Structure 1
Amino acid sequence: MSTSVLTEVSGDVTTVTINRPESLNALNEEAFQAIGAAVTEAAANSRAIILTGNERSFSSGADLQGGVAKREGIDLAGANRIIAAILDLPIPTIAAVSGPAAGIGCSLALACDYLVMSEKSYLMLPFTKIGLMPDGGSTALVAASAGRHRALRLALTGEKLQAADALDWGLASEVVPAGSHLERAGEVAAVFAQGPTRALAASKRAINRASLAELDASFAREVEGQDALRASNDFAEGVAAFLDKRAPGFTGE
C-alpha cells in the first residue's frame, strides 16, 4: 500500500491526506494513483471527503526532482481521469489548503466542490516558468470561476495568487486564519455529511455540467499541447534552470 497518501475515517467523513512532506507534497505517478484509489473508496463508504496536505503545503505540483525532469513522470491522461472522477463524485468534496496549491496540485484543489484556504496559502500555475502550459483541467477550472482574463493572468505570469485574492476572484469558498483550515473543512464536511445526499449530488452535477461543459475538450487540448512542449528545448532548459536554482534562458525553441 502506498504511503504517499493517507486516509482517515471519522463517522461519515473520510480525510485523504497527500503525504510527501519531503517535497512539499509534490506529486508523482504513484501519489496520483493513490489519490484516485482513496477518493473512489471513500465515495463508496462516506458522505463527504476532505482532500488536504500538511501545514506547509497542499501540493507543490508535479515532482520535478523525479520523472518530470526526464520527460516522464505523471501520466497526464490518467491524472485527468482522476480529476474528472473527483468532479463527478456523488458526494461533496472539500479541499483544505495550507501553503501552495500549485500546478496540477492547484487543479486537484479546484476540482473539489468547496475550497477552504488558510490565509497564508496561495494558488499558482507556474507551468510557463519551465516551458509548459497549464494542465490537469486548470485551463477550464480557473476560467469557469475567475473569468478569461484572470485565467490568462495566472497562466501567463505564473504568479502566486494569495488566499484573499483567490476568494475575491471566486476560486476559493472561504479563507480562514492560519492553522485552522483543516478544522474548518471538517466542520463543512460534517454539515454536508448530514445533508440530503441525493439532492447534493444532483446540485453539484448540474452546476458542474453548466459551468464546465468544455472540460473534456480542455483536457484533450492540454494533453496535446503538453506532449509537444515536453519535447521542446525550452522545457529542457526550464527544468534544468529549476533544478539549478537559476533563471532560465528560453529561446522559443
Structure 2
Amino acid sequence: MSYEQLQVHVENKVGTIKLCRADVRNALVPELRRELLEALAQLGQDDEVNVLVLTGDGKAFCAGGDLGGMNKKASAVTARKRMLQSHELIRNLLRLEKPVIAAVNGAAAGAGFSLALACDLVFAGKSSFFVQSFVNVGLVPDLGAVHFLTSLLGPHRAKELMFLGDRVSAEEAFELGLVNRVIDDESLMEETLAVAERVANGPAISIGLTKAMVNRTILGQLHDTFEMEAFAQGLCFETEDFREGVTAFFEKRSPRFTGR
C-alpha cells in the first residue's frame, strides 16, 4: 500500500512508520491520521512484522492537532465527532498485539505527546522535548493525556504539566519516567532500530500477549476518559478563550484569556 502522508518501511521484522508532514510539524491533520490508522492495520496483519517504530520527519515528532485546520467556530457536536475519530488511533495503538516504539525526534506537543505515551516504549533524542500545549490555546488535554500522565506521575505532577504547559526536556522526561532512554540525536534511529530488532527476534506471541495483558486495564480506564474528553473539548471549542488562544498562536504573542 502506498501512502502520501507517511513513509513505511519493513526490514528485519521491524515496520518503521515515519510521519511525513514536516510542513505542519507532523500535526495530526485528518489525512495523516487516516493513513496512520491504515498503516497500523496493515502492519498489524503482516506476519513478517513483529515490532513497529513510530517517528517523525524533520524537526518534530508530532506537533499535535492541526490548529491551522481547526474551524474557530466549530460546534461542540463537530468537535466531539473529531475527538471520537482521533480516539480510535490511540485505541488501535494499545490493542495492537505488537510492540510499538516511539523514536521522538524534536517536539512532541499536545496530542503528539499523547501519541508518544500511547506507545509501548519511548526513546527520545537529546534535543527533543515534550509539552502539554493544550492550556496555551484554551483546550483540555486529549488523546488520553490525563490518564497516561496521572498514571505515570501521580495527580500533582501531572496537573503541573497540564496547568502550566511548560516544556519538558528529554532529560527531564527521563527523570520523570516518561521516556525509557535519551539518545544522541544522530544515533536515535540506529539505537531504536537495534532495540526493535532485538524485541522482534524474541517470542512474538508471548510478547504480544504480555502487551495485551498490560493494556487491558488501560483500555478499560480510557473509555470513561475519552467520553469526558469529547464532551469537554467540544465545550472548549466554543469558548472565546479558544479563539483567542489560536489567534495568539499564529500571531506569535501571549494569549489574553478572559475565562469566557
TM-score interval, normalised by the smaller of the two chains: over 0.9
Give me the whole-angstrom Cα distance separating, in 2, the residues matched to 1:27 and 1:211: 23
For structure 1, the residue ranges without an aligned partner over 5 or more in a row are none
When residues 68 and 26 of structure 1 are mapped into structure 2, their CA distance, relative to the original with a 3 A threshold, is farther
Shift in Å, 1:67 = 2.8
- Give the aligned partner of residue 152 of structure 1: 159
Which residues of 2 match residues 69-88 of structure 1 at below 5 A? Answer: 69=72, 71=74, 75-88=82-95
Which residues of 2 match residues 1-253 of structure 1 at below 5 A? Answer: 2-45=3-46, 46-69=49-72, 71=74, 75-210=82-217, 213-253=220-260
Give me the whole-angstrom Cα distance separating, in 1, the residues matched to 2:215 and 2:173: 19
Give me the whole-angstrom Cα distance separating, in 2, the residues matched to 1:187 and 1:2: 25
Aligned length: 253
Give me the whole-angstrom Cα distance separating, in 2, the residues matched to 1:162 and 1:13: 28
SS of the aligned residue for 1:91 comes to coil
Shift in Å, 1:133 = 0.6
Whether the 8 Å contact between 1:2 and 1:31 is mirrored in structure 2 is no
Shift in Å, 1:69 = 4.5
Counterpart code for 2:5: S
Deviation by residue 1:50-101 (Cα, 9 ceiling, x = unmatched): 0000241101111112235453788211111111110111111000001111
Q: What CA RMSD, in Å, does the superposition of the two structures yield over aligned residues? A: 1.6
SS of the aligned residue for 2:103 comes to strand
When residues 79 and 89 of structure 1 are mapped into structure 2, their CA distance, relative to the original with a 3 A threshold, is same
Deviation by residue 1:219-243 (Cα, 9 ceiling, x = unmatched): 1111110000001111011111111
SS of the aligned residue for 1:214 comes to helix
Q: Which has the higher contact order (CA 8 A, sep 6+)?
A: 2
Deviation by residue 1:144-199 (Cα, 9 ceiling, x = unmatched): 22221121111111111111111111110111112221111101110111111121
SS of the aligned residue for 1:51 comes to strand
Sequence identity percentage: 33
Shift in Å, 1:211 = 5.2
For structure 2, the residue ranges without an aligned partner over 5 or more in a row are none
Shift in Å, 1:212 = 5.7
Whether the 8 Å contact between 1:140 and 1:212 is mirrored in structure 2 is no
Which stretch shifts more, 202-211 or 221-230? 202-211
Shift in Å, 1:23 = 1.6
Counterpart code for 1:61: G
SS of the aligned residue for 1:75 comes to helix
Give me the whole-angstrom Cα distance separating, in 1, the residues matched to 2:29 and 2:19: 11
TM-score, with length taken from structure 1: 0.95
